[in-house]
Amino acid sequence: MILARVLGNVVATQKNSRYEGARIMLVQPVGPDGVARGASMLALDSVDSGEGDLVVVIQEGWSASTAATGKAGAAIDSAIIGVVDRIDEESAS
Amino acid sequence: MQIARVVGNVVSTIKSSGLNARKLMIIQSLDDHLQATGRPHVAIDAAGAGIGELVIWCRGKEASFPFEGSEVPTDCTIIGIIDSDEHVSSLTRRAVSGGSEGGEG
C-alpha cells in the first residue's frame, strides 16, 4: 500500500456499472514525511475520506474492488482503505 | 486509475482476435492540474469515449474485467468519461486559479 493526500474528486456520469455509487477520489501519493512522490492518480473511496486527508491506498485490483464495492472482479485498480490519524517514525540513527 | 485526455485512435487490421470489434484509442495521462504526465498509452474503449474527452482509465489485469466472458488482451481500458474539465475538483487546482472553483488558467 502507499500513503497519499486526498486532493479532491472527479464526477463521471458515464462510467462502468461497477462504479455505481462509488466516490472517485483524486489523490497525490506522498512519503511518510508528507512530501509528494510521483504522479497524482484516482482511487475509489471506501472509508468516507475527505479533501486534505492523509490516507492509505491499495493498488491491487482484487482487494481494491472488494474494499470499494464489496465484490472482486471489477475494473478497479486502486482504493482508499484507511484514513491516517498519525505516523510515528523512528529517526534512522 | 488515472485521468487522461483521448488524443487519437488506432486503426489495426492485423491484430489479436481478442481485439476484434474493440475501439483502440491513444490517451495521454494528466496530473491534478490536467497537465500531461508520463507517456501516451493505447487503450481499449469500454465507455464510448471520443477524441478530446477527459476519461478515467484502469490498468493491469483489472482492465480486462469489463469484457467478462471474452478473452480481451488489455492492460489499459477506458472505463469512464469525466463530465467536463470542471468536474475535476482538486485543492491544487483551486489554489492555482485563485480559489474560484474550476477557474480559467
Residues of chain B with a CB closer than 8 angstroms to some CB in chain A? 1-3, 29, 31-32, 37-38, 46-48, 56, 58-63, 65-66, 68, 77, 79-83, 87-93
- What ipTM was reported for this prediction? 0.88
Task: Tell me which residue in B3, B37, B56 faces A15 most closely, judged by beta carbons.
Answer: B56
pLDDT for B20 beyond 90: yes
Residue B77 contacts residue A61 (beta carbons within 8 Å): no
Q: Give B104's pLDDT tier (boundaries 50, 70, 90).
A: very low
* Side chain identity, residue A10: V
Residue whose entry in the numeric block shows the C-alpha cell 477520489: A25
Q: Which residues contact B20 (CB under 8 A, 6 or more apart)?
A: none
pLDDT for A66 beyond 80: yes
Cα–Cα–Cα angle for A38, A43, A46, rounded to 5 degrees: 140
pLDDT for A70 beyond 70: yes
Q: Do A8 and B90 touch (CB under 8 A)?
A: yes
Q: Which residues contact B98 (CB under 8 A, 6 or more apart)?
A: none
Spatial distance between the Cα atoms of A17 and B69, rounded to a whole number of angstroms: 16
pLDDT for B105 beyond 50: no
> What is the DSSP code string of B60-87?
SGGGGGGGTTS----SEEEEEE-S-GGG
pLDDT for B89 beyond 70: yes
Mean pLDDT of A62-86: 95
A22-63: per-residue pLDDT in tens?
999 999 999 999 999 999 999 999 999 999 999 999 999 999
